[in-house]
Amino acid sequence: MLLMNIVGLTCSILAFVLVLTGTLSDFWLVNFGSNLFHAGLWQNCTKNICTKVTESGNINATRGLIIFSTSLLVFGMIFSCLTFVKFHVGRITACLVSATLESLSAIFLLIGMSLYVSETSYKVLNSSYNYQWSFYLCWTADVLLIISGISHFLAHQSSPLPGYDSV
């Protein structure tokens, strides 16, 4: 159980760092052609001249879903830390709450990333644009969130049930 909690906490911390770095950087979509264009969720840059993203629709939805996913992840990390002190309320343990929050975070991040792909796929398929490292950092964070949620759920399954029997 301790090993699963350590794996879960480590994966959730790594996912937090990756999603924060990926979200705040401008290298989601890149064109290395003569325009030297790179874009993120917040600004687009052409030849070192950056402008704020004014598109609405899926880009704003992607921003909102990733921010919501990150906030769920923060609460999941708090409950992940509480797993080491055996925090529980009845049959609901900190492992279970952490697994739930991290799984929900992974789902919202997956939806946000899918919306971004649906918004920009025509640029990638029909021109010389490519997805770059910021984009892939968020996908890696999603995989780490899934691993973290599974490991916390396994830790919850292996923990003894609170009650008179465990006293």
What per-residue confidence (pLDDT) applies to 162?
A: 57
What per-residue confidence (pLDDT) applies to 161?
A: 62
Pick from 8, 164, 145, 156: which is nearest to 95 by CA?
156
| pLDDT digits (tens), the chain, 167 positions | 788 999 999 999 999 999 999 999 988 888 877 678 888 888 988 888 888 887 667 888 999 999 999 999 999 999 999 988 888 887 888 999 999 999 999 999 999 999 988 888 877 777 778 889 999 999 999 999 999 999 999 998 887 665 555 44
**Token pair belonging to 105:** 């975070």
What per-residue confidence (pLDDT) applies to 64?
A: 92
What per-residue confidence (pLDDT) applies to 11?
A: 95
In the chain, helix, strand, coil percent, each to 5? 65, 15, 20
The pTM for the full model equals 0.88
Beta-bridge mates of residue 46? 37, 49
CB 70 within 8 A of CB 59: no
Q: Which fold has domain 2-158?
A: Butyryl-CoA Dehydrogenase, subunit A; domain 3 (1.20.140)
What per-residue confidence (pLDDT) applies to 163?
A: 57
What per-residue confidence (pLDDT) applies to 167?
A: 45
